[in-house]
């Protein structure tokens, strides 16, 4: 019989992979909740009109999975979450408390050419502070990102969060003589500068009607790592990050633009220092979150992080724990068929106390221990007729093979 394979660009999560993903979710949850963010979720299907209103043309026309519903209206598997967030905020804008701090982790789809660090189906952390236009809000989201990097063990000499400000770049482009109508094209080209050979990039910029003098000045601008000192906002941002003790994770990078059209202020991306991978996360400040979907304009700041690249980075640095599948789950053995009810009662008792318990099949004890070892369990409990008669249990360490006999009421202390 022919084996049916998964769709290219999707992933199967076997228990080991799922445990790794849930470990990641636990870390990003810790980072989110440390700053008071609440979890939310939206639907996986949206109308394509929602993305036409909020996202860049490339995302809508080239990357979204679009298909008609039964009524013929075009809908899409969500390629990102910010437009859904905007719609949700607009729907209950008069009922919500602002600034609102929301985070989510869920599946997304983009029509990509599958390659290292990029899949068609992926999971993404989205976190936003909505209803504040302050630099303090920008600093908070950068701080959340840096806190997450610390929680997973990444150090500042391994990863950096690169920041810029579109308002600063807008002013500098004006000084160079680039008009308002040409700025979006130039910003998109700056965003792509490291993705193309230098000569190809310059030719592409020239083909858009920019002069060689303007191209030269753009290159000078992008080489100026002290440009941030001309920005009051960026200067405040670095001051706030220093107060949070996280400034070592952040530096200025004039090439950071972010391609999506709705960013209007501070923008940032996290990269590994050696640039061996794509951006780990990225986001920025937006002046109008909900105006394009029917609500009253609201400012905010947020970022997104896909699970694919960050796991590749963590794996490269050896930071993913090896034993995640069962954690502190224990095995309760079954001495024989006759004592199966007693083992079941013991397992139930342990579960009521918060332990994860695998109840073995009634077969030879050696085989039960081998099964536990293959699962990665660390401890097993043996309840034989001798132990049952005197109210005791054998606690066996499956790593050291040491075992102790304890009273039933001492099991919890022994396991801990």
Instruction: Give alpha helix (H) positions in 266-376.
Output: 307-316, 340-352, 365-375
pLDDT at 275 over 80: yes
Residue identified by tokens 């640095």 is 317
Note the pLDDT tens digit of each residue in 1-35: 788 888 888 899 898 899 999 999 999 999 999 99
Is 104 strand, coil or helix? Answer: strand
Report the topology of domain 330-415.
Answer: Rossmann fold (3.40.50)
The two three-digit tokens of residue 79, written as one number: 């390629």
The two three-digit tokens of residue 50, written as one number: 């929602």
CA–CA dist 120, 42 (Å, integer)? 19
Note the pLDDT tens digit of each residue in 187-206: 888 888 888 898 899 899 88
Among candidate residues 314, 285, 315, the one with its CA nearest the CA of residue 299: 285
Number of residues written out for the chain: 416
Q: What pLDDT, on the 0 to 100 scale, is given for residue 242? A: 96
Instruction: Tell me: cis bond preceding 18? Omega within 30 of 0 counts.
Output: no
Question: 304 and 126 in contact (C-beta within 8 Å)?
Answer: yes
Determine which of 99-108, 123-132, 258-267, 388-397 has the lowest per-residue pLDDT on average. 258-267
Q: Domain boundaries in the chain?
A: 15-316, 330-415
CATH number for the region 15-316 comes to: 3.30.930.10
Neighbours of 99 (CB within 10 A): 19
CA–CA dist 188, 218 (Å, integer)? 13
Question: 345 and 186 in contact (C-beta within 8 Å)?
Answer: no
Strands 330-332 and 357-359: parallel
Using CA atoms, how far residue 176 sits from 164, 217, 407, in Å, is 18, 7, 81
């Amino acid at each position: 019989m022919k084996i049916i394979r998964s769709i290219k660009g999707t992933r199967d999560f076997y228990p080991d992979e799922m445990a790794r993903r849930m470990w990641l979710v636990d870390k990003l949850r810790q980072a989110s909740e440390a700053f008071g963010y609440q979890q939310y979720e939206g639907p996986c299907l949206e109308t394509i009109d929602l993305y036409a209103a909020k996202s860049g043309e490339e995302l809508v026309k080239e990357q979204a999975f679009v298909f008609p519903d039964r009524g013929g209206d075009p809908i899409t598997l969500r390629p990102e979450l910010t437009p859904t967030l905007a719609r949700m905020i607009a729907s209950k804008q008069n009922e919500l408390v602002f600034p609102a701090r929301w985070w989510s982790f869920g599946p997304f789809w983009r029509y990509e050419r599958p390659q290292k660090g990029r899949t068609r189906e992926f999971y993404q952390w989205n976190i936003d502070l909505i209803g504040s236009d302050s630099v303090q809000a920008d600093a908070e989201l950068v701080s959340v990102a840096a806190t997450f990097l610390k929680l997973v063990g990444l150090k500042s000499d391994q990863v950096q969060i690169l920041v810029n400000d579109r308002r600063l770049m807008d002013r500098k482009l004006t000084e160079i003589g680039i008009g308002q109508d040409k700025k979006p094209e130039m910003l998109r080209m700056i965003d792509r500068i490291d993705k193309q050979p230098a000569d190809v990039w310059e030719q592409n910029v020239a083909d858009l009607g920019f002069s060689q003098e303007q191209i030269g000045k753009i290159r000078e601008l992008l080489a100026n790592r002290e440009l941030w000192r001309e920005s009051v906002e960026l200067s405040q941002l670095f001051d706030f990050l220093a107060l949070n003790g996280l400034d070592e994770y952040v530096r200025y990078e004039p090439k950071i633009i972010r391609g999506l059209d709705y960013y209007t202020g501070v923008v940032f991306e996290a990269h590994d220092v050696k640039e061996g991978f794509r951006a780990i996360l990225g986001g920025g400040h937006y002046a109008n979150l909900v105006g394009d979907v029917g609500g009253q304009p609201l400012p905010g700041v947020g970022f997104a992080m896909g699970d694919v690249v960050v796991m590749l980075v963590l794996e490269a640095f050896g930071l993913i724990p090896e034993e995640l599948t069962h954690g502190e789950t224990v095995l309760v053995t079954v001495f024989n068929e006759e004592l199966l009810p007693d083992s079941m009662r013991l397992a139930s008792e342990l579960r009521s106390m918060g332990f994860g318990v695998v109840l073995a099949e009634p077969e030879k004890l050696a085989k039960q221990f081998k099964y536990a070892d293959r699962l990665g369990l660390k401890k097993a409990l043996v309840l034989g007729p001798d132990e049952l008669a005197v109210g005791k249990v054998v606690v066996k360490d499956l790593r050291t093979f040491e075992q102790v006999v304890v009273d039933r009421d001492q099991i919890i202390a022994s396991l801990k």
